[in-house]
Structure 1
Amino acid sequence: MGDQNEHRIRTGIGGWTFEPWRGGNFYPEGLPHAQELHWASRQLPAIEINGTFYRNQTPATFAKWRDATPRGFMFSVKASQYCTHRRVLAEAGESVDRFINSGVAELGEKLGPVVWQFMPSKVFDPDDFSAFLGLLPERRDGVALRHVLDVRHPSFRDPAFVAMARRHRCAIVFTDADKFVSIPDATTDFVYARLMMASADVVTGYDDAALDRWTQCARAWSEGKRPVGLEQVSPEDGPETDRRDVFVYFINGAKERAPAAAAAMLRRLGLAPLA
């Protein structure tokens, strides 16, 4: 785990319950479904929880997930759609509080970023979006909260949005997906990438050249540098640092290949699974 902390780069997948991962593809043949989180968290250092997007969980559920995973593991948590899928984001205060108070802080040191995912049709409205970011708390029950914004409309590829995210110390999701806006700018002390273009025809989802490229990007972000070949939105660099946390999730696309892709990047980083 020392290497994992040193490099500050985590690779992971979305969720842990997926039928095609069973029967030897990722999970061993015959592994009970109740043990899948235990297994997955000892192969990869991070998982993005997607179920929280559809309904709020309970403190007991978050505590169960925390206790099933090893020391050093981290969950990213997707925020409730009731917070983000609305016409006026500034009116989301009650929904934000309900989600944050649902037990997220029970994850403790295993809580990674909270992902706020917006509708692809949601256009950048500076006043409304700034008001929404002002609703996001910095802490809950003594646990620091890190927020990441998954915006999907081309209007967000705007230096004003990047500057706003920096003021509020929120990260912006970077994605390689053709259908969503791509924003590689670093805006705070961590970077969050969702890689969504895996191919079912490649055992590791991405071929060697692509995995090498994304590994190089992750290393650059972690060292406080701009990755080569990614066009930033803002001419300004992010907060000056030589150490930045990086989360790289292989998610959607050919989802059956996601664990192999994440493990392949982990090997390229020279990092071992958590014990």
Structure 2
Amino acid sequence: MTARARVGISGWTYPGWRGDFYPDGLPQRRELEYAAHRLDTIEINGSFYSLQRPTSYRKWAEQTPDGFVFAVKGGRFITHMRRLADPHASLANFFASGILALGERLGPVLWQLPPTLRFDADLAASFLAELPRTTEAAARLAGDHDDKLSGDRVLAETDEDRPIRHAVEVRHESFADDAAREVFAEHDVALVVADTAGRYPKLFDVTADFVYVRLHGDEELYASGYTDSALREWAGRIGAWTEAGLDVFAYFDNDMKGYAPHDAQRLAELLT
């Protein structure tokens, strides 16, 4: 199949976007629907802060058109509190919380590491080995959830077996190393290409069969917009990756001043 590039935004509920990207008078409950008809992918960020519910994932899927894809951000309990240690139980809870309700709209799962977490080959390898690579594997893992989840807060089945891709956004300079690249490549997990106004490492290494890009702002983290020249540079990079047969998922997280959805639409336009 021909490689494809998708461009979207990180989250969709931002009061400052109302009356700008979102038209005046648009009900908040329809903001996802509005964004999903103008972009073909969005990151679900609420899943990073707490376990969501199957009913929420199902509702989000119903509000988006055919062909739309969500990326889902992995829980900070796993990445920031547990710091990837002994992840089986917490991963089981995460995948039992309803992610599989997205069905064919489930795209990559994003794991963002804290800036203080250094590269440890054994820790990274053990975590990556635990990640389910298909929805059937995720359903089996979800069956190991603990008593933090019960009843209608659990979904441990899938309507169809589909592959699951994983991407990891690292924020410590120790990951800019051949040993780290080798571990991620061995497990076919993408190292995120993150543009963070120079605060964190910007890695362009391809370690999986797809590329995951997060654009947080090139001059001011989360706040600055991208010039047309900068967007053309990113379009060139993304075009080169797709020509090499790699799917690309790119998300704008420069949401503070409302640039993200506009930059995403412009980049998508440049890629057509």
Please report the TM-score for the alignment, with normalisation by the length of structure 2.
0.85
- In the TM superposition, residue 199 of structure 1 has moved relative to its aligned partner by 6.4
CA change 1:135–1:82 in 2 (3 A) is: same
Q: Could you say which residue in structure 2 is the equivalent of 1:13?
A: 9
Aligned residues: 244
- In the TM superposition, residue 143 of structure 1 has moved relative to its aligned partner by 3.3
Q: Deviations over 1:52-89 (max 9, x none)?
A: 00011111111110110001111100011111114652
**Which of 103, 106, 109 lines up with 2:98 in the alignment?**
103
Q: Does 1:36 align with 2:56?
A: no
Q: Does 1:184 align with 2:204?
A: yes
Q: Could you say which residue in structure 1 is the equivalent of 2:270?
A: 268
Q: Deviations over 1:100-152 (max 9, x none)?
A: 11111111111111001111000001111111111111123323211001110
SS in 2 for 1:116: strand
Runs (4+) of structure 1 exceeding 3 A deviation are 252-255
Q: Could you say which residue in structure 2 is the equivalent of 1:172?
A: 191
Q: Give % identity.
A: 43
Q: How far apart, in 2, do the equivalents of 1:255 and 1:172 lie?
A: 27
Q: Does 1:218 align with 2:238?
A: yes
User: Which 5+ residue runs of structure 1 have no aligned equivalent?
Assistant: 225-242, 271-275
SS in 2 for 1:144: coil
Q: Deviations over 1:22-63 (max 9, x none)?
A: 01x101110000000000000111111110000111111111
CA change 1:247–1:105 in 2 (3 A) is: same
Q: How far apart, in 1, do the equivalents of 2:82 and 2:178 lie?
A: 23
- 2:235–2:270 contact (8 Å) kept in structure 1: yes
- 2:57–2:99 contact (8 Å) kept in structure 1: yes
Letter in structure 2 aligned against 1:246 = V
Q: Deviations over 1:230-251 (max 9, x none)?
A: xxxxxxxxxxxxx211011111
Q: Does 1:248 align with 2:267?
A: no
| Aligned-CA RMSD value | 1.7
CA change 1:20–1:199 in 2 (3 A) is: farther
Q: How far apart, in 1, do the equivalents of 2:166 and 2:133 lie?
A: 9
Q: How far apart, in 2, do the equivalents of 1:158 and 1:268 lie?
A: 32
Q: Which residues in structure 2 correspond to 1:1-275 (within 5 Å)?
A: 8-23=4-19, 25-86=20-81, 89-139=84-134, 140=138, 141=158, 142-177=161-196, 178-197=198-217, 205-224=225-244, 243-252=245-254, 254-270=256-272
User: Which 5+ residue runs of structure 2 have no aligned equivalent?
Assistant: 139-157
- 2:73–2:109 contact (8 Å) kept in structure 1: yes
CA change 1:88–1:251 in 2 (3 A) is: closer
Letter in structure 1 aligned against 2:214 = R
Q: How far apart, in 1, do the equivalents of 2:271 and 2:189 lie?
A: 26
- 1:149–1:172 contact (8 Å) kept in structure 2: yes
- In the TM superposition, residue 253 of structure 1 has moved relative to its aligned partner by 6.0
- 2:83–2:117 contact (8 Å) kept in structure 1: no
CA change 1:209–1:51 in 2 (3 A) is: same
- In the TM superposition, residue 254 of structure 1 has moved relative to its aligned partner by 4.2
Letter in structure 2 aligned against 1:154 = E
